[in-house]
Amino acid sequence: MPPSPSAQSTSPFKREDVRVQKLDYIRRAASDLFNKKGFDATSLDEVAEKIGISKPSIYYYYKNKSELLLGCYIRTLDLCDDLLAETHQIEGSALDKICHFTRQLIFLNCAQGAIAVVSEIDALPSEAIGPLRARSRDLTKRLKRLIADGVADGSLRPDLSDVTTLFIMGAVNWTPRWYREDGPMTPTAIADAYISFLVQGVAAEADQSPGR
Amino acid sequence: MPPSPSAQSTSPFKREDVRVQKLDYIRRAASDLFNKKGFDATSLDEVAEKIGISKPSIYYYYKNKSELLLGCYIRTLDLCDDLLAETHQIEGSALDKICHFTRQLIFLNCAQGAIAVVSEIDALPSEAIGPLRARSRDLTKRLKRLIADGVADGSLRPDLSDVTTLFIMGAVNWTPRWYREDGPMTPTAIADAYISFLVQGVAAEADQSPGR
DNA sequence: AGGAAATTTGACTTTCAAGTCAAAACCGCG
DNA sequence: CGCGGTTTTGACTTGAAAGTCAAATTTCCT
């Protein structure tokens, strides 16, 4: 649907497609660097160099650095929303769903540039902060609900604290900091190890509450 | 022991003590801000303002911003070393020791400014990067050894992956990002929840390995 | 009080990355 | 080819924070 009233429009799609691809290309490079070095520590010259274009080209696609970060974060939240929706389709207990979600999120974090860890919200354009926080909160709320479901269906321990999600997300969000494609661990191995840890803990036997 | 050959030296200690205190005071403010906003996103004017001094005063105590970061990281590693040494004094299984270590590390992360999460090594003066990485690796190695001990003494599951330490540290290192003194959770509650999770996992029953 | 050394700071220079712009290169079409 | 529109870029300006310095202030001793 090209509502543009202007002239020549024999190939109405390709142009837009290329544009979207380029937007994506830049966003991925930026996400990867933002994850690894942080937003402020990453210069747009670096982003440009990583993909072999010049800095002004970035400005042709994004209004400024903050908008680029916003693009990264929106994409991340979109993917998380999708993932959570997909998760609800899973047959099985709430625990199974949590495991699925966690595993896929680890994969996303390891696929460099797929998503950016949403952690530097203050660097966003000020009018975007509120809505983004709202989306983040909503996501957190749905994760907490998933945990409550698990307690209800008996697949999770009944005494789980609300901070459980924070711990899980913390560990997952930390992966981009150390994961390297050429490192010794595959994403699958990482996910396996993490989920096994998540489900069973580290102790050899189930019950042996340690003192302080 | 005042080896200084210069004149007036009736009270040889106080001066130096005050100096050390000020170094510490500045380092704490910086650690706290570096944890919360990241190194590059934190200006020295902010650090100065936080403790009510001027930026040049910081330069009287630290050669430059990188040296200040280095001070933060060295302090962190010193405290971790101490903590690990203390941990070895603990009576009990390797699991008990790991729990103690984790708990105290959470406390340090919650005590604002006590330590700075060592994550922006690249921002250090280049000649300091090597030695600091070496110390970090050494610490990691000793943590892995502690895990091996746990497997040996039967307090830990025998199939724990090497990345277990990374997950634990990831979750712990994430706490400064969300912990607030005036928030709903006390450091003790956080540590309790986290350790219970660490030891037992989230599953209701010990054994129920979930599919992919 | 008086003076020397230590400390602090306002005002400055420097540096580096964000952001702009007008000219160049590219593309699809007759 | 050559012409409009699109995309890209080299060279620039701007702004904010790092870093410096000489003068002002404080400290502490006699």
Interface test with A, best of B43, B174, B205 (most A CBs within 10 A): B174
Q: If 0-12 CB within 10 Å is exposed, 13-18 middle and 19+ buried, where does residue B193 land?
A: buried
Beta carbons of A167 and B175 less than 8 angstroms apart: no
CA of B16 to C1' of C11 (A): 30
Residue count of chain B: 212
Is the pLDDT at B210 greater than 90? The verdict is: no
Give, to the nearest 10 degrees, the angle between helix A65-89 and helix A126-153: 20
* Arithmetic mean of pLDDT over chain A: 89
Taking the mean position of all CA atoms in its chain, how far away is CA B174? 11
Q: What is the reported pTM? A: 0.88
User: pLDDT tens digit string along A161-171?
Assistant: 888 889 999 99
Radius of gyration (C-alpha) of chain B in whole angstroms: 20
Q: How do the residues of chain A divide into helix, strand and coil, expressed in percent and rounded to 5? A: 65, 0, 35
Is the pLDDT at B209 greater than 50? The verdict is: no
User: pLDDT tens digit string along A35-79?
Assistant: 999 999 999 999 999 999 999 999 999 999 999 999 999 999 999
Distance from CA of A200 to the nearest CA of B (A): 4
Paired tokens of A29:
């490079």
Task: Indicate the residue of A38, A103, A175 with minimum beta-carbon distance to B170.
Answer: A175
Return the nearest residue to D29, CA–C1': B8
Q: How do the residues of chain B divide into helix, strand and coil, expressed in percent and rounded to 5? A: 65, 0, 35
User: pLDDT tens digit string along B29-54?
Assistant: 999 999 999 999 999 999 999 999 99
CA of A40 to C1' of D21 (A): 29
Check B203 against A208: CB less than 8 A apart.
Answer: no
Phi-psi region of B76 (alpha: psi -120 to 50; beta: other; left: phi over 0): alpha
Average the pLDDT over A122-143 and give the result. Answer: 95
Question: What was the pLDDT predicted at B6?
Answer: 38
User: pLDDT tens digit string along A72-102?
Assistant: 999 999 999 999 999 999 999 999 999 999 9
Tell me the pLDDT band of A123, cut-offs 50, 70 and 90: very high
Q: What residue of B is the nearest CA neighbor of A95?
A: B203
**Chain D bases near protein Cβ (<7 Å):** 5-11, 16-22, 28-30
